[in-house]
Amino acid sequence: MPRIKIIGCSGSGKSTLAREVHQRLGIPWLELDSLQHQSDWTPMEPELFRDSVSDFIERHQDWVIDGNYRVVSDLIHPRCTDLVWLDVPLMKIMWQLGVRSATRVICRTELWNGNRESLRSHLSMDPEESVLLWAMKTHREFPNRFKSLADDPVLSHVQCHRIHDQPTRDRWLDTLSMP
């Protein structure tokens, strides 16, 4: 009964890995961004966000959830069996984000609830608007954040995995199987 939480900064591959886990194990997948980013990038009300995540967790015995929202961490982390941190080098993240964002802008890809990335947001000097600046800002916070989670006695039952490259990622995926 795996319950897997995947964290990492923007562009590290959280949703890609979660999708692979979902497909490999056939377990429900919740992409937290799909809840949080409502129409016109309006954030979901915190109470509703918490209720939606809680409902998902209660409805499913096993799951994979990706995202970094601290407002719901207390609901997810104590119930997960595995916490996966994608500790990808910043240069690789910037490359992945650049390619992903350019593709989304050029193709006008709909993400969640009608939202699309815009060139204007990527050119913004505000980290709250630019995913590239946001990734640079948050990348350095993750080592301390993951260490505090791994050392938290409330989470002593959780297997913590630090994935920093493709071979480590592939080896971890190969360990997954349904009981």
Along the chain (179 residues), what's the average pLDDT of each consecutive run of 10 residues?
A: 94 96 97 94 95 98 96 96 95 93 87 81 74 88 85 92 95 84
CB 33 within 8 A of CB 65: no
* Greatest alpha-carbon span in the chain: 48
CB 141 within 8 A of CB 147: no
Which strands make up the sheet holding 3-7, listed edge to edge? 29-31, 63-66, 3-7, 82-86, 159-163
pLDDT tens string 114-135: 878 887 776 767 777 788 888 9
How open is the CA angle 16-74-158, to the nearest 5 degrees? 65
Residue 34, CA atoms < 13 Å, CB-side half-sphere = 12
- The pLDDT value given to residue 1: 83
Q: Of all residues in the chain, what percent are helix, strand and coil, respectively (each to 5)?
A: 55, 15, 30
pLDDT tens string 4-14: 999 999 999 99
Q: Is the pTM of this model over 0.95?
A: no
- The pLDDT value given to residue 171: 95
- Taken in order of first residue, the domains within the chain and their CATH numbers are 3-175 (3.40.50.300)
